[in-house]
Structures are given as structure tokens and as C-alpha cells.
């Protein structure tokens, strides 16, 4: 997918820089899931138009997982993370050595800009949730609320 970023950059003298074009490369996992495996940023319009995407190889499926609406509806039907016990189950699952292997593979193969490891974190939590039968949708948010020091009343807001 070739894109032009038209978001203006606030407080700049160059709101539409020449290198505002991007290419995103997706891999189809199945009928309900895609994985963004590569992003190429800061291209000029000419470089984007002439970029030979046929030469890009991607051996793995590591990247940002995306679900279609029907898959998201399926995931919403799974049990939700509601208690500290649920959070502990997820955390214990994440201690399994298979996740360390996943992290190492991700570090080697990832071609996406992920300076805060947010894509990696989302993939790990999603995988752990699915392995345990929990819905990954909103899981990280729920875990953060449950682990917070706020009172029960504040958490319910």
C-alpha cells in the first residue's frame, strides 16, 4: 500500500515535507487476519512511485497483527480480564520460554519502526490471551487498570 501523509505538522515552516510518502507491506495470514510486516517511510513522491516492492522479501509473519471486523467480533466473545487472578494467569503465561523465543525472533526480523516496543508488547499480550482463552481486545488496558494503585471505585470509572 502506497500512501501520502497529509497530516500537517504543527509549528513548522514546512507542513507538507517532500518526503511525506510511505509504503506499507502486509502479509495475509488468513481470511480474517493481516500482518503489517514492513513500513518504508520518508520517501519522496518519485521514490515511492518507483520503489520496486517486488524485491522485498519477508520470511516471517512478525509485525503488527490486524483483524477484520468479523474476527474482532469473535474475539469479543471470549472471556474478559476482570480480576487480579486473570492478570496473574496472563503474566504467568508470558513467563513461558516460547515467548522469549518470539521476542528474539521479533528483534531479528522486525522491519517496523517500534521504538517503544508497543507492537511487540501487543503481540505478546494478544498471544498469551488467546492461548488462555481470553479476549485480547482491551486486555492491556484492563491489566493496567487492575494493576494500578487506584481504589476499586476509581477503577470502575
| pTM of the shown model | 0.78
Give Cβ neighbours of residue 31 (< 8 Å, ≥ 6 apart).
68
Give Cβ neighbours of residue 33 (< 8 Å, ≥ 6 apart).
65, 66, 67, 68, 71
Evaluate if residue 137 carries a pLDDT over 90: yes
Query: What are the tens digits of pLDDT across the range 72-95?
Result: 999 999 999 999 999 999 999 999
Give Cβ neighbours of residue 70 (< 8 Å, ≥ 6 apart).
32
Q: How many domains does the chain have?
A: 1
Q: Which domain holds residue 63?
A: 2-156
Mean pLDDT to the nearest integer, 113-120: 88
Evaluate if residue 12 carries a pLDDT over 80: no
**How many CB atoms lie under 10 A from the CB of residue 128?**
21
Query: What are the tens digits of pLDDT across the range 33-43?
Result: 998 888 888 89
Tell me if 137 sits within 8 A of 129, measured CB to CB.
Answer: no
Give the chain's largest Cα–Cα span. Answer: 57
Amino acid at each position: 500500500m502506497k500512501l501520502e501523509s497529509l497530516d500537517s505538522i504543527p509549528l513548522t515552516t514546512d507542513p507538507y515535507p517532500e518526503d511525506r510518502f510511505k509504503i506499507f507491506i502486509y502479509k495475509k495470514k488468513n481470511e480474517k487476519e493481516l500482518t503489517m510486516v514492513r513500513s518504508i517511510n520518508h520517501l519522496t513522491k518519485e521514490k515511492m512511485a518507483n520503489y520496486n516492492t517486488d524485491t522485498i522479501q519477508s520470511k516471517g509473519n512478525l509485525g503488527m497483527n490486524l483483524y477484520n471486523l468479523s474476527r474482532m467480533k469473535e474475539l469479543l466473545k471470549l472471556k474478559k480480564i476482570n480480576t487480579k487472578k486473570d492478570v496473574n494467569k496472563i503474566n504467568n503465561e508470558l513467563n513461558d520460554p516460547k515467548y522469549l523465543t518470539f521476542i528474539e525472533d521479533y528483534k531479528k526480523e522486525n522491519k517496523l519502526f517500534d521504538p517503544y516496543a508497543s507492537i511487540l508488547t501487543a503481540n505478546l499480550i494478544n498471544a498469551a490471551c488467546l492461548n488462555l482463552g481470553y479476549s485480547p481486545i482491551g486486555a492491556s488496558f484492563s491489566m493496567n487498570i487492575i494493576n494500578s494503585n487506584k481504589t476499586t471505585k476509581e477503577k470502575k470509572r
